Every structure is written in C-alpha cells, then in structure tokens.
Amino acid sequence: MTRQLNRHVIGRADDLPPGSRKLVQVAGREIGVFNVHGAFYALANRCPHGGGSLCEGFVTGLSISAHPGKYELVREGEFLRCPLHGWEFEIATGQSYCDPKNTRLRTFNASVEHGAELVKGPYVAESFEVKIEEDYIVLDL
C-alpha cells in the first residue's frame, strides 16, 4: 500500500472484480472496498448501529414483496447485511434501508432519495471516495 498525502492506493482494480470486496487498513481505520457491478465503493468496517464488522457481512440484494407470500430479490449485489444484527446498507451510499417513511412520533427525519423502493434509515455507514487511476484503486481519506 502506498501513500500520497491523503490519498491511498489500495490495490489494482483488476484484483477486485465485480462482486468482490477487500478489507484494508488505511490511516489506522478498517475500510471495506467493494466492486458493485464495476463501480467501486468504500465503507468503514463498523456498523453504525451495533458496532459490527459491517464489511464482513453478506453482500446481497434487497428482499421485497408485492403481497404476503410473494417474494422477490432485487438489486442483487448492491446491499450489505451486517454480520451481527442483519441491518441492511446500500453499498453505494452507506445508507441503511429500514426506516419508516414517516412516523407520528418524531424520531428521525426520513426522506426518499434512491428510487421508489428505497427508504433512508437513521444510520449511514461512513463512506469514502474511491477513484480508479490507471487501474489502481485510490481511496481519498
């Protein structure tokens, strides 16, 4: 791993094909780098809910249902399920999936940003900018 100012080269893009991930230590922090359908994303390896090693969780899709008894898995490979309590996070944004569109009890401001089916949760996993420069994965920190 080479370091240049606050930019960290963490490996060759070729070594991280779509659907794979890599856990790296950068500036004392554990960070998971993910290739989701060819795009690279990085998330802190700590679940904002219960402190779990989020980036070691299952990379999967989103279970949705049109009606009780009907099941569909959509957006495969775009979500991360924490290995502790199973909370789901969108890898691209670090945004937790589950939270009410609105509650009568004011708790968290929830707003819809990513498509009709995706609802923002109260927690966002810390994410970092990832760039591909001459086939290397670069992490801005």
Partner 1 sequence: MKLPFKGVIDCDLHLPSPPTTALLPYLPTHWRDQLETRFIHKMNFQLTSYPPNSPLTCREDWRAKKGDGESDLDRLRRQALDPFGVDIAVASLLHGAIALFNEDMAAALCSAVNDFVAHEWLDPEPRLRGSILITGQNTDHAVAEIERLAHDKRFVQVILPVMGDMLPGKRQMWPIYRACERHGLALALHAGSTYRFPTTGSGWPSFQVEDYIANSAGFENAIVSLLSEGVFSECPNLRVICLEGGFGWLPTLIWRLNKEWRGIRQEVPWITRQPGDILRERFRFTLQPVEVPDAALIARIIGHIGSDDLLLFSTDYPHAHFEGVEALPDGLPEALIRKITRDNPLAAYPRLSGGASANQPEKAEQRS
Partner 2 sequence: MNVPLPSVTSAQKIGIVDCDIHPVQRSAADLYPYMSQRWREHSEMFGPHIRQGLTGMQVYPRMMAAGQRADSYPAGGGPPGSDLDLMRSQHLDAVGVEWGMLVALSKGGMEERNPDFATVLSHAVNDWQRHDWVAKEPRLLAGVVVPQEDADFCVKEIHLRAQDKAFKQIIISPRSAEPLGRRRYWPIFAAAQECGLPIGLHPAAFSGGAPSTSAGWPTYYMQEHYAFCTGMQGNIVSMIFEGVFEQFPNLKIALIESGFTWMPAMCWRMDAAFERMRKEVPHLKRRPSEYIRDHFWFATQPMEEPENPAHLPEIIEWIGWDKLLFSTDYPHWDYDDPRYCIRFRMTDAQRSMLFRDNARALYGLP
Chain residues in the site for partner 1 (CB under 8 A): 49, 63-65, 67-71, 85-87, 96, 98-101, 103-105, 121
Q: Is 107 left (phi over 0), alpha (psi -120 to 50) or beta?
A: alpha
| Cβ 136 to partner 2 shortest distance, Å | 28
Cα–Cα distances (Å) from 104 to 101, 108, 112, in that order, read 10, 11, 17
Specify the residue, 68 or 115, whose C-beta has the smaller distance to partner 1: 68
Q: Compute the distance between CA of residue 37 and CA of residue 33 in angstroms, rounded to an integer.
A: 13
Using CB under 8 A as the binding rule, the residues of this chain from 16 to 75 that contact partner 2 are 46, 48-53, 56-58
Other C-beta atoms lying within 10 Å of the C-beta of residue 6: 10
Residues near partner 2 (CB under 8 A) are 46, 48-53, 56-58, 81, 83-86, 103, 105, 107-109, 122-124, 126
